[in-house]
Amino acid sequence: MHIVITGVTRGLGRALADWYIAHGQTVSGCGRSGMEIFELRSQYPEPNSFDALDVTEVVKVEMWAERIIGAQGAPDFLINNAALMNHPAPLWKVPAAEFSKLIDVNIKGVANVLRAFLPTMVGAGRGVIVNLSSGWGRSTSPEVAPYCASKYAIEGLTKALAQELPKGMAAVPLNPGIINTAMLQLCFGGNAAGHPSAEAWARRAAPFILQLGPKDNGQSVSVPKAPPD
């Protein structure tokens, strides 16, 4: 099975890549950190593939997708994970440049990746698109308005896309839950440590994602929580 993951160099994307490769899947991923991409390439040789890429750069995204599809064909799963969090602040105190960059990555970046991969996936008549949403794409909190706006947009974008796909495909907005990542630490500070690590999360999330399919098309889905100790 071939799985494409954006934002693969850290956090949830890296944890998913590690789990999938350990369990025999082929992963093609991208991320902005050249050093971490180099480490992934060293750790996971071909047929896995990792590239330094900013999903906001349309032409580079198209070139990346063309190369990946040429080598592996249409992906079985396309996981749009790359995203930014704003520095917590009231909306009127969030700088315009910071707001714009977040929207460029969290919404336009997802659209860029979809635009690059979907023609081949639709042509093949198969594949599952998983766009990572958030609890903040279905509810709100203060000081994260830009992030909430972007994830509400992902919910709408994905559900509309689901109505456009041919039978046999699926597009799913996925709430990963609350995980102790650098993004959560930015918002929660020391309280982030009380939540599962990305690695522990991936042990639940990665196999759960592989169970998603046409039956889930257009549904808002959440990764199941870990059972209490």
Q: Return the pLDDT at 147.
A: 96
Q: Which residues of the chain have pLDDT under 70?
A: 180-195, 227-229
Residues identified as active-site: 147
Question: Whole-model pTM?
Answer: 0.93
Q: Return the pLDDT at 228.
A: 55
Domain ranges of the chain: 2-222
Number of neighbouring beta carbons within 10 Å of residue 203: 14
Is 3.40.50.800 the CATH classification of the domain at 2-222?
A: no
Q: Residue 164 corresponds to which tokens in the numbers above? A: 């456009």
Q: Return the pLDDT at 138.
A: 96
